[in-house]
Amino acid sequence: MDSQTLKPNVGDLQSDVIAIRIVRAAFREIQKLSHQYSETVAEILKQMSQGNLGDRRKLEGYTDLLRTKQGDVRVIWEWINSQEILVIKAGLRRDVYQGVIEDRDRNPTYTLANLMGIEESQVEDIPTFNFNVNKTYSWYQFIYGAYLYSPHLTQEQIKLFYQLSETLTSYSYSRYSELTNINSFLLQSAPGTGKTVCAAVIASKFYKNHDYNVVLILPEALCSEVKEYTEIKEIWLFQTK
C-alpha cells in the first residue's frame, strides 16, 4: 500500500462491501502510531471492508467485542449488523488493551457500554465516522481530520430524517395553493445539537432521494467546511462536471 494513497482494487468496487465505522477515540489512538503501524491499521480496515476479518478472536468476558491482529497491531471491533462493523480501538498490543480486561468467567459479560463507561441507551448516539476505502485516497488526511467530513448520523438524527421525510411526503400544499406558489419547509436546530453535521447530511439525502431543492443557511466561516463533507462534495462534484 502506498504510504500516502489508498488505492482500491477492482474487487473492492462492489455493492456488498462491509461498511466500516470508527469512534472518535480510535482516531486519537491511531494518530499516536508510527508510520508503519498506522499503515497496518489502514490495511486491516481495508481487508475488513472486503470481508476478510483476518486473525480474529472473541474477547473473553465481553458480549460482542472481537479482536483482529496483524503483527504488533490490534483492532478491537464489533458487528453493528451483518453489513456494518464498528471499530472501537486500534493500536499496538501493549496499548490497545488498556481498559480492556478479559475474564472468561465474567457473568454477566461486559458490553460496549461497560467498556466505554456509558449507559446502554447512549451507545447508539456515540459519534462515529465512515471509512470508505473507495472514497478515501489519503489515509493520513483522513485520520488527521478529514474523517470529520464523513460523519454517520446517530440514531436520533436518523429518526429526525425519517420524521421529516414522512412529513414532506404526506404534506399537502393544495391547502395553501391560493396563498402562495412557493412550496417550502424550514428546519431549525438548537445550538449544540450537532446541527451542522446533521443538516448537511440530511440536506444531501433530501436532494438525492427526494429531488428537493435544498438551501443551507450558514455563517460564511462554515460554508467552506460544509463543502468538504463527503455527501455534499459528491453533489458538488457531480454538478460541476
In contact, 85 and 51? CB cutoff 8 Å: no
d(CA 113, CA 116): 5
Q: pTM value?
A: 0.73
Question: Within the chain, which residue ranges are assigned CATH 3.30.2310.20?
Answer: 10-149
- Cα 17 to the chain's mean position, in Å? 15
Paired with 20 in beta bridges are: 85, 131
d(CA 200, CA 204): 6
How would you write the pLDDT of the chain (241 residues) with one tens digit per residue? 444 444 444 344 344 689 999 999 999 999 999 999 999 999 999 999 999 999 999 999 999 999 999 999 999 999 999 899 999 999 999 899 988 888 888 888 888 888 888 888 788 878 899 998 888 878 998 999 888 888 887 777 777 777 776 766 665 444 444 444 445 666 665 555 566 777 777 778 778 777 777 777 777 777 777 777 777 777 765 555 5
d(CA 28, CA 12): 27
User: What confidence score (pLDDT) does residue 76 get?
Assistant: 96
For residue 175, the SS3 value is helix
C-alpha grid cell for residue 116?
466505554
User: Of all helices (H) and strands (E), which one includes residue 81?
Assistant: strand 73-81
CATH 1.10.1200.10 for the 10-149 domain, yes or no? no
Letter string b/e over residues 128-167, b meaning 16 or more CB atoms within 10 A of that residue's CB: bbbbbbeebeebbebbeebbebbbbbbeebbebbeebeee
Sign of CA dihedral 33, 34, 38, 40: negative
Paired with 78 in beta bridges are: 86
d(CA 204, CA 213): 10
